[in-house]
Amino acid sequence: MKENIQIRNLAALRAIKEATLAVMDPEKSGSPRVVVGLATCGIAAGAQDVYDALKNELKAQGMDYVLLEATGCVGICQFEPVVEVYIPHQPRTTYVHMTPDKAVRVVQQHLRGGNPLGEYTIGSVQ
């Protein structure tokens, strides 16, 4: 369990920010990051099952270097479940109307194979 950290000055806050960015920012960490919207609208649309499918497939593929995170509201409720993929030196890919089966394909084809699945992206459904 993490200990409570007391931020006593701006320098301490900046240090925490830099340490966090070193892990979360694919450009700094060098590792892919996958974010699943798990606010109320995402959960109602099945995002927890999508998150679980991503987690299981990443483990099955031995891809423990991929940072998988849950976040709150992504802001595009009509497209839930939403999954955002951040890969170093590439633009963000926003997948929408995700299902567990689509999530497995994202791991296999995008994260493992380097081929984003355009048919699942926000641009293909607008």
pLDDT digits (tens, 9 = 90+) for 57-69: 999 999 999 999 9
Q: What is the set of domains in the chain, with CATH numbers?
A: 28-125 (3.40.30.10)
In this prediction, residue 2 carries a pLDDT of 59
For residues 111 and 85, is the Cβ–Cβ distance under 8 A?
A: yes
For residues 32 and 25, is the Cβ–Cβ distance under 8 A?
A: no
Whether a cis peptide bond, with omega within 30° of 0, leads into 81 is: yes
Name the pTM for this structure. 0.82
pLDDT digits (tens, 9 = 90+) for 70-91: 999 989 999 999 999 999 989 9
Spans in the chain with pLDDT lower than 70: 1-3, 26-27, 29, 126
In this prediction, residue 84 carries a pLDDT of 96
In this prediction, residue 56 carries a pLDDT of 98
Q: d(Cα 102, Cα 108) in Å, to the nearest integer?
A: 10
